[in-house]
Structure 1
Amino acid sequence: MAEATDDLSAPLGRDGVRGKRRFRLPFTPIQALALALGLFLAAFAGFALFHDDPLGGEPLTRIAIAPSPGGDKAGAKTSETSAEKPAMAAHGTEAPSNKAHPGAGAEQRTVTIIDGSSGAHQDVKIAGEASEKDAAAPGVMPGIDPRLLEKSRYGMIPTMADGLRPFTAYAGEADRAKAAKMPIVAIVVGGLGVGAAKTVDAILRLPAAVTLAFTPYGSDPAKLVERARAQHHEILLQIPMEPYDYPDNDPGPQTLLTALAPEQNLDRLYWHLSRFQGYAGIANFMGARFVATDTAMAPIVKEAAKRGLGYFDDGSARSVAPSLMAAQAVPFARADVTIDGVPTSAEIDRALDKLEGLAKERGLAVGVASALPISIERITAWTKTLDSHGLLLVPLTTAMMKSKSS
């Protein structure tokens, strides 16, 4: 009877003998995955914060230089640590090496390229003797006469050599005999280089005789200038200069300013001159105050004469450039008409008619325009009528030479 009572009072579904307890984890698999990910991120952050890597994982290059016979101890150095030579190889150049002593023969160099992320090494042997001229070659655009280049701290800038000057070397092609006998017009389209699409449009649509003026800005002005020269356009470099409302109206970095010493403005000029090569002259970019200040302009004009460049003035009424250029015998031209001062078809056509009238009256006239689509369209259409009107379209340098001779 007692045994029956025990069976009746026992909880339903339980056996008389207690079974084994099953082990259970204190977290789910998803929670475990989240914990592991959090630990990994914490370890990565700690490594980034506290690991001392002064190069920040950048690619490196090392150069091994064979000792030169009879050289001194410095010449016997065979390698340099990767920390001493940042990897210029990753940017298309190589780290500089010590020159071999005269008579030592060809310089043997090995460039070790180190991947900054994986640490993999790749040794590249460079055979042959590298000259100073070869070392400067990567910074020179195709079709540029190396004799007309001088090294500055910013890069290669134009200079004169062997009686040759950039003004004549890079002048656009023209029938100068024909230009001497009939009225001529020259057109300068400026503001190029910033905005690749509009620049390429101007290069391809405008006649080759139209001179193109490039600002020193833009991501790759040298590439665009190279394309323009391939289309036989004559090139000018526009130098940013101080306007009257500066700094509210700022032409851009390295602008030439009236408040700076001549040495400072010349240093800024060298920066602009080094941005690309192959231009026949320079021109002001804005700069109404600067071109009207004799003490500021005089050193710039002298430098243009020293480097064999022409100068184009966009037509500022107070500019002292004409008298300064004449004193320095710098090839010079000044814009007679701003073609797209009012950028509408009717006003541009009216300005072109005025330019044509001045050319017939005086024998030559110079117009200036910006690279607006409407300007390019109207100028291109107008140039197709010049033959029937008894006019010849010429590059700016031809107009400069005709003006000087007359």
Structure 2
Amino acid sequence: MSLASHDVLSRPLGLRDEAPGRTACWRTALRRATILAATTAVAGLALFVALTDDPLGGEPFAVATIERRAPEPAAPAAAAVSPDRSAGEVEQVSGVAVMRPDGTGAPDSRVIRVPDPEPVRLSPAPDPRVSERGRYGTLPRIGPDGSRALDVYARPEASSLPGGAAPAGRIALLVTGLGIGQAATRDALALPPAVTLAFAPYGTEIARLAARAREAGHEVMVQAPMEPFDYPDNDPGPQTLLAGAKPADNVDRLGFVLGRVPGAVGVVNFMGARFTGEAAALEPVLREIGGRGLGFLDDGSSPRSLALDVARKARVPAAAAEIVVDAVPRSDAIDRELARLEEAARRKGVVVATATALPLTLDRVARWARGLESRGLLLVPVSRALRNGR
């Protein structure tokens, strides 16, 4: 087959033969025309932008004017509290309209701002001066200089009511049974800081919860489980101090209890009607408590207790509660005991009471404590009663 016949067979149908030179000229002319058209378009667009001053090339736009304003002068403080202003001046500055009976006006007395008192902070615990390592952890001891945990860890006592007035009476209130129920412990921590809190030696976070109580300003104590008359049917729990046990065994169990609550100022019995009624069993334990620089509080639950008499003979700082606020756990009964507590404080000057961390008790105590100072009475920490032997 010839070359000519091959071109005829491979060329698309409908196309005529053209000379190669003619095709190249046609393509060159088309390319030049395209470039000329594009150049003309760009030049026209540039001329349009230059003449119309429109950098957006005709796209819609809006112009917003931003004005700079000088900052407005700060408004005068509303009713600045100062000893140089009278009550009328304070009202005028504040702009608050005060309605008074006809013919009366603002008093001429000066307005004085009394700053809130700083919260009371307790000493960190354990303090190396009054602590040592024992079988069950950190135990209290009397320091080389005679320092006692009862004094080092105590909450400072207020000497007067807010405003400086002397109180008509003082009340030392201990709330027991903390560290087991989270809700009860939380509610007890919200009580006035002068209320002392006692922790049972059980639970996994006793030391942390006691530290939180002290951070909130509460003095803390530890409860020692002691044998009741119906033991073991009524069991205070592990490490119970027993009336028939050897003194060394009871002292060892007491060591477990003391190691559970660093920063405690003393020990309070948990149950123990039989144990506190046995002087022979009680004396070695109280001597150990006193020898470690702690105090002992009888919770007042047993009328047969000999704790206060034995402690005095052994020269151990001790006190006994005169009133158990929730011996009958009803709202009306608790309120009556709180009223009786106020009466006793006015009559005796200082009175000690205990209460358990029941939800009802904590609620009634919180309500009662809100107005206590307005009635001329002052809450004091239990350490005050322990040191004074009340």
Compute the TM-score of the two structures, normalised by the length of structure 2: 0.65
Instruction: Give the paired residue count.
Output: 263
- Matching residue within 186, 201, 223 for 2:208: 223
Match runs of 1:70-85 below 5 Å? none
Moved more, 308-317 or 145-154: 145-154
1:208-254 CA-partner distances (Å, limit 9, x unpaired): 00000001001210111011011010001100000000000000001
1:150-197 CA-partner distances (Å, limit 9, x unpaired): 221221110010210000011112124779974101111001111222
- Matching residue within 344, 361, 367 for 1:381: 367
Distance in 2 between the 1:223 and 1:327 partners? 35
1:320-353 CA-partner distances (Å, limit 9, x unpaired): 1111111222221211111111222111100101
Distance in 2 between the 1:241 and 1:387 partners? 36
Match of 1:297, as an amino acid? L
The answer on whether the counterparts of 2:125 and 2:153 sit within 8 Å (CA) in structure 1 is: no
1:26-53 CA-partner distances (Å, limit 9, x unpaired): xxxxxxxxxxxxxxxxxxxxxxxxxxxx
Matched with 1:152 is 134
SS at match of 2:341: helix
1:105-149 CA-partner distances (Å, limit 9, x unpaired): xxxxxxxxxxxxxxxxxxxxxxxxxxxxxxxxxxxx963211211
Indicate yes or no: 2:297 matched with 1:312.
Answer: yes
Higher relative contact order (CA 8 A, sep 6+): 2
The answer on whether the counterparts of 1:196 and 1:224 sit within 8 Å (CA) in structure 2 is: no
- Matching residue within 133, 151, 163 for 2:146: 163
Distance in 2 between the 1:365 and 1:353 partners? 13
Percent identity between the two aligned chains: 47
**What are the ranges of 5 or more consecutive residues in structure 2 without an aligned counterpart?**
1-122
Indicate yes or no: 2:269 matched with 1:284.
Answer: yes
Indicate yes or no: 2:288 matched with 1:303.
Answer: yes
Indicate yes or no: 2:256 matched with 1:271.
Answer: yes
Matched with 2:155 is 172
Deviation above 6 Å: which 4+ runs of structure 1?
177-181
Distance in 2 between the 1:158 and 1:180 partners? 35
Distance in 2 between the 1:266 and 1:143 partners? 23
**What are the ranges of 5 or more consecutive residues in structure 1 without an aligned counterpart?**
1-140
SS at match of 1:229: helix
Matched with 1:105 is none
Matched with 1:184 is 170
Distance in 2 between the 1:281 and 1:322 partners? 14
Distance in 2 between the 1:188 and 1:271 partners? 22
1:40-70 CA-partner distances (Å, limit 9, x unpaired): xxxxxxxxxxxxxxxxxxxxxxxxxxxxxxx
Instruction: Go from structure 1 to structure 2 and tell me whether the alpha carbon gap of 1:256 and 1:184 turns closer, same or farther (over 3 Å shift).
Output: same
Distance in 2 between the 1:180 and 1:325 partners? 31
Match of 1:258, as an amino acid? A
The answer on whether the counterparts of 1:183 and 1:392 sit within 8 Å (CA) in structure 2 is: yes
Distance in 1 between the 2:232 and 2:183 partners? 28
1:361-404 CA-partner distances (Å, limit 9, x unpaired): 11111111111111111111111222222211111112333456
Distance in 2 between the 1:326 and 1:164 partners? 20
The answer on whether the counterparts of 1:243 and 1:288 sit within 8 Å (CA) in structure 2 is: yes
The answer on whether the counterparts of 1:335 and 1:366 sit within 8 Å (CA) in structure 2 is: yes
Matched with 1:247 is 232
Distance in 2 between the 1:287 and 1:171 partners? 25
Compute the TM-score of the two structures, normalised by the length of structure 1: 0.62
Distance in 1 between the 2:316 and 2:171 partners? 20
